[in-house]
Structure 1
């Protein structure tokens, strides 16, 4: 994201620019920004803003609580919009499409939409496959295990996955946590983070990359897709897109 923003901004360095961050991801907020570009971050969860945001800088960056599907910004007022898993927080496809329409509205015609998607692989693995790898010590971190299990438990992107269902799948296996920690070297408190899923109504969605494209292609032209080399990066593609002009919108948006 940093490289893409820098390359886009270089020929425009003499003019003020605005970027919008969907969420309050600290690593994105703290990355080096072009000197004439300001950053505004928006998240509907005010608690996330208070606990995660690295702080406002007058004239440079600030955060506020807002609904992504109805962004409180004028039309064509942003040069760059960025999101890290932002669409995975929404139900598919309706709310995902509403966010795409909202982003399209606030982007300038020559702007860019940078989105890292958490995309379910095709074909998707089964929960039992994930537990098999867990017990044979073939998963590097417990967070990678949870990520894989979330995607494996999901039946369809339209249904998404309730995190309580993931906790139930975990609890049914009666995993010996001390033995697991001794085998993997993971800290018990890290493994116990899955207990936070118990009783939660939170739902995440993991469309496949073709599913994401089926919604985004109506409004955006894909410039590039990047898949890096870290573990599970094949499930975390970063899309760079530019808005389609009004006369070139795909049939589904007319």
Structure 2
């Protein structure tokens, strides 16, 4: 992010905080519904001092990484099978298209009945949420490979497997990374929802517990922390993409 963007973003944040402060100071909204920025900051500092916020961040982060990795692995393997063994596609493509339209959160009750409220349920929700954008973008990258490049591979006697790894995979890398970045964002959305329903730890559980205790300040802290952690992971992933793909900024990676 360049200096100009940092300045503009800072101005926007400061403006929002000022409006928030004015609204709470003039008591236009009940402090129970919307506590002041100073109270939210005080709660955040207390949670940082006690270390509880870092524990919840770590727990949620590990769950996201596990689910995201599994989703990426499944998406890549199925997309690869679709290209190398196209006849196998008929066995699972319609099932994938069906599941794509089923909201993962609607499956939480079923997963709880099957696996309880342990880690399997939460990671399963992440996998179901992150899989589809990764899979669809990966397939798009493989299928849209330049036919002229594939013809060159045939001239050199490449098998389907060699053609896949030496031509299709490098060509599709941009689309794959786009899907992974979207999937990572979806993973954070999914884990928070899953933790609010089936967990005893993590950021989602922290928000739910704060709501049950009528601690609106802690609820806002949780929301802000989720946004910050999600933003940082997204920026780190964007940095990896920028290093992996030369000239990525011209393709929208800023």
TM-score normalised per structure 2: 0.24
TM-score normalised per structure 1: 0.24
Bigger relative CO (Cα 8 Å, ≥ 6 apart): 2
Decide which structure has greater helix share.
2
